[in-house]
Amino acid sequence: MGQSSPLTRSHATKKRSIVINGHRTSVSLEDEFWDALVMVAQARRLTLIDLVGRIDDDRLTSNLSSSIRLFLFAEARAGRLGPKTAEFRPPRSRRVSAPG
């Protein structure tokens, strides 16, 4: 059948544990935002952790998950996220597993 469309995918947030600057934290993001974040990191030739670390260093809100969404929104508004972002699927082995 192929991939599910954005209209049929679950839009629930998933909590993912990451380590930024030696500090363990978690972010709660929908798969679409996570996939876009991975795509931006790859396009910039950064690790996902390095990109999230930069977002964390520059954030203006107290919530990292919100800061990531705002960063991705700014990328989209600036035209740096193409139409393929919605179709992008990183390999399963590259996803950070959710705790629990």
Please check whether residue 70 lies inside any domain of the structure: yes
Q: Which residue has the higher pLDDT, 47 or 99?
A: 47
Residue 80 pLDDT exceeds 70: yes
Range of the domain at 72: 13-86
Query: Are 37 and 52 in contact, with CB atoms under 8 Å apart?
Result: yes
How are the residues of the chain apportioned to helix, strand and coil, as percentages rounded to the nearest 5? 45, 15, 40
Report the number of distinct structural domains present in the chain: 1
Residue 27, amino acid: V
Mapping DSSP to helix (H, G, I), strand (E, B) and coil, where does residue 94 land?
helix
pLDDT in tens, 34-44: 999 999 999 99
3 inside domain = no
Mean pLDDT of 68-81: 93
**What does the pLDDT average to over 55-65?**
92
Once rounded to an integer, what is the mean pLDDT over residues 76-99? 59
Give a yes or no: residue 75 inside a domain. Answer: yes
Residue 59 in any domain: the answer is yes
